[in-house]
């Protein structure tokens, strides 16, 4: 079952955007500066100088100097609820897992009732198996994902915060995908067992139906094993290849399975054609197949203009499609074997988009050393987590390293008041004056913290300071997995809605 993203990230792609790992460090040596105009910073001769500007009418500080001056002495408020309840609510039972649990529990309730009844035939079990696989595949389709995000973004930011903080987790719909996939596999096990029993008793089921059922089951089990989070992290390339090629093979065999199953159960005097068009599984598999083929029909090689920003990253410019803040696209030089997802950086009124590719392995290093003039892309731009930002009236946007890629277009769009916090080493030297200056122009109060100059900060405390001083309703963070989880938990456990990628692909 190959699929598209996620927010959501995709089962086909390994996200290549890298960010700095920022553990808590000893108190940095702060440099006290006088607030200056962001435009004056454009002429700064020192590329590694920390950029920190703010408008005192919007944000006031008890101490002069950089925005973060003395933040380590700030006292964080007590976390809400007890430790056990906090961990259950914000870590163990995330919305992704709750969605998985709802789908799985509903399926298993029906599964147990079906087993207890004992009179169900293989035809019914086959329909339920296909229905679950249908849901699993559709939940990874780019058009379906975008539809969920579009509907979620219709919610006005005047609605109660408790509603918006739930709607803002629309990127957790991957839990429906995984819940349906696992449930469908368990139903297929029951189907194979029942079909085998019926075959032994010469009750309609034929040999081809049995063979295809067991081969498909083996493929699905392999996909589930490699999709398990720990396996996926340690063997991501294997996960991608298994998910893609096993998924394609499984779909082809599902066609064979349902044709033989329909043939086994067609009524006397009924033609196979009549039985096929009247069978719901046929139409479900047809839509599933089209859903998988559709992204590949949009496969194309497009021209790209590359701007090498440093030996750490390159910025790629495209004009084949316009994008919106929160979109990501997929790129490849070998379409059958690897895909890499990158956030799109769009500017209001400008055609096309750009993407920042940072050094994170062999593929990204090659783009920096030998910038491409053409590259393969497929599917449509798809929404990810930062697309939920406009649901809130005032938002702190947090990025580390090249996590600024997904955040930048949201800053440029200016749909609601934003406060940007960006930490990275050698900001201007690494990412270039053009990107830094454009962010400062769009968000003059941006806090850009140079980790090479000042050390790595306590991101929970620094983020909370900006939430408090900016009077923000929510936090959106793009960073590496450990830091994202730490900041999201640090905010959520204190009653502040926080949103970050969930690495569900």
Give the pLDDT confidence of 19-74 residue by residue, as tens digits: 333 333 333 333 333 233 232 333 333 333 334 443 433 333 333 357 788 888 88
| 257 phi and psi angles, rounded to 5 deg | -60, -50
What 3 state SS string does 143-171 have?
HHHHHHHHHHHCCCCCCCHHHHHHHHHHH
Q: Which two tokens stand for residue 238?
A: 């294997």
pLDDT tens-digit readout, 256-277 = 999 999 999 998 888 999 999 9
Kindly tell me if the per-residue pLDDT of 119 is higher than 80.
Answer: no
If one compares 64 and 189, the residue with the highest pLDDT of the two is: 189
Kindly tell me if the per-residue pLDDT of 366 is higher than 50.
Answer: yes
pLDDT tens-digit readout, 398-456 = 999 989 999 999 999 999 999 999 999 989 999 999 999 999 999 998 999 989 888 88
Contact 356, 372 (CB under 8 A): no
Kindly tell me if the per-residue pLDDT of 461 is higher than 90.
Answer: yes
If one compares 14 and 301, the residue with the highest pLDDT of the two is: 301
Centre a 10 Å sphere on the Cβ of residue 418 and count the other Cβ atoms it contains. Answer: 25
Q: Which two tokens stand for residue 237?
A: 């390339």
Taking CA atoms, 129 is separated from 126, 181, 188, 342, in Å, by 5, 9, 6, 34
Distance of CA 17 to the CA centre of its chain: 12
- Calculate the average pLDDT of the chain: 85
Residue 20, pLDDT score: 38
Q: Which of 505, 503, 476 is nearest to 492 (CA)?
A: 476
230/189 Cα distance (integer angstroms): 24
Across the range 222-232, mean pLDDT stands at 87
Kindly tell me if the per-residue pLDDT of 467 is higher than 90.
Answer: yes
Residue 27, pLDDT score: 37
Taking CA atoms, 414 is separated from 325, 351, 356, 395, 449, in Å, by 10, 18, 20, 11, 21
Residue 26, pLDDT score: 39
Report the range of poorest mean pLDDT among 19-23, 328-332, 381-385, 428-432: 19-23
Across the range 354-383, mean pLDDT stands at 92
Q: Which of 452, 435, 451 is nearest to 443 (CA)?
A: 435
402/359 Cα distance (integer angstroms): 9
Place of tokens 């490849």: 332
Residue 49, pLDDT score: 33
182/177 Cα distance (integer angstroms): 9
**Cβ contacts of 387 within 8 Å, gap of 6 or more:** 149, 153, 324, 325, 326, 327
Helices (runs of H) and strands (runs of E) counted in the chain: 19, 13
Residue 239, pLDDT score: 85
At 362, the pLDDT band (50, 70, 90 cuts) reads confident
Across the range 242-252, mean pLDDT stands at 93
323/405 Cα distance (integer angstroms): 13
| 318 phi and psi angles, rounded to 5 deg | -130, 150
At 504, the pLDDT band (50, 70, 90 cuts) reads low
The β-bridge partners of 399 are 422, 478
Contact 389, 377 (CB under 8 A): no
Contact 500, 487 (CB under 8 A): yes
Residue 237, pLDDT score: 77
If one compares 119 and 143, the residue with the highest pLDDT of the two is: 143
DSSP state of 38: T
Which of 5-9, 114-118, 211-215 tops mean pLDDT? 211-215
Q: Which two tokens stand for residue 180?
A: 């349906």
Across the range 141-166, mean pLDDT stands at 95
If one compares 83 and 376, the residue with the highest pLDDT of the two is: 376
Taking CA atoms, 324 is separated from 76, 348, 413, in Å, by 35, 9, 9
Contact 19, 26 (CB under 8 A): no
Q: Dihedral of the CA atoms 479, 481, 487, 490 (nearest 10)?
A: 170
If one compares 331 and 82, the residue with the highest pLDDT of the two is: 331
**DSSP-assigned states of every residue in 42-62:** GG-S-TTSPEE---TTT---S
Across the range 465-474, mean pLDDT stands at 95
Q: Which two tokens stand for residue 264?
A: 């086994």
Taking CA atoms, 105 is separated from 50, 78, 193, in Å, by 52, 35, 21
Sign, CA dihedral 294-300-304-310, equals positive
Q: Which of 216, 91, 39 is nearest to 484 (CA)?
A: 91
Distance of CA 20 to the CA centre of its chain: 19
285/212 Cα distance (integer angstroms): 15
């Amino acid at each position: 079952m190959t699929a598209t993203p996620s927010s959501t990230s995709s089962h086909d792609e390994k996200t290549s955007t890298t960010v700095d790992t920022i553990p808590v460090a000893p108190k940095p040596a702060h440099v006290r500066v006088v607030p200056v105009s962001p435009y004056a910073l454009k002429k700064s001769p020192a590329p590694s100088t920390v950029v920190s500007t703010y408008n005192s009418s919007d944000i006031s500080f008890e101490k002069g100097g950089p925005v973060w001056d003395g933040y380590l002495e700030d006292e964080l408020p007590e976390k809400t609820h007890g430790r056990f309840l906090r961990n259950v609510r914000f870590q163990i039972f995330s919305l992704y897992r709750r969605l998985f649990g709802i789908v799985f529990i509903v399926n298993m309730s029906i599964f147990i009732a079906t087993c207890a009844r004992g009179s169900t035939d293989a035809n019914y079990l086959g329909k339920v198996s296909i229905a679950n696989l249908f849901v699993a595949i559709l939940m990874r389709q780019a058009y379906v994902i975008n539809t969920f995000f579009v509907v979620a973004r219709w919610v006005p930011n005047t609605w109660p915060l408790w509603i918006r903080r739930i709607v803002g987790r629309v990127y957790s719909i991957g839990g429906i995908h995984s819940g349906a996939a696992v449930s469908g596999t368990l139903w297929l096990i029951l189907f194979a067992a029942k079909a085998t029993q019926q075959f032994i008793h010469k009750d309609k089921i034929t040999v081809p139906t049995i063979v295809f059922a067991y081969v498909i089951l083996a493929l699905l089990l392999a996909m589930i094993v490699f999709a398990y989070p720990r396996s996926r992290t340690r063997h991501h390339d294997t996960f991608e290849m298994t998910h893609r090629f096993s998924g394609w093979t499984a779909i082809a065999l599902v066609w064979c399975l349902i044709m033989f199953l329909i043939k086994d159960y067609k009524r006397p005097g009924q033609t196979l054609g009549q039985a096929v068009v009247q069978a719901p599984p046929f139409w479900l598999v047809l839509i599933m197949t089209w859903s998988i083929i559709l992204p590949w029909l949009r496969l194309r090689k497009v021209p790209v203009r590359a701007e090498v920003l440093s030996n750490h990253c390159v910025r790629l410019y495209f004009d084949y499609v316009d994008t919106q803040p929160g979109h990501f696209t997929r790129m490849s030089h070998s379409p059958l074997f690897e895909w890499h997802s990158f956030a799109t950086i769009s500017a209001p009124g400008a055609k096309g988009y750009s993407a920042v590719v940072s050094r994170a392995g062999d593929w990204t290093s090659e783009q920096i050393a030998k910038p491409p003039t053409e590259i393969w892309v497929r599917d449509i731009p798809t929404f990810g987590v930062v697309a939920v930002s406009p649901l809130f009236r005032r938002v702190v946007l947090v990025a580390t390293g090249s996590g600024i890629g997904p955040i930048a277009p949201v800053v440029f769009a200016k749909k609601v008041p934003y406060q940007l916090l960006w930490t990275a080493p050698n900001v201007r030297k690494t990412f270039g004056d053009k990107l830094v200056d454009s962010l400062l122009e769009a968000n003059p109060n941006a806090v850009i913290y140079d980790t090479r100059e000042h050390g790595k900060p306590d991101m929970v405390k620094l983020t909370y300071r900006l939430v408090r001083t900016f009077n923000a309703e929510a936090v959106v963070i793009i960073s590496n997995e450990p830091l994202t989880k730490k900041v999201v938990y640090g905010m959520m456990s204190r009653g502040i809605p926080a949103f970050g990628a969930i690495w569900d692909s």
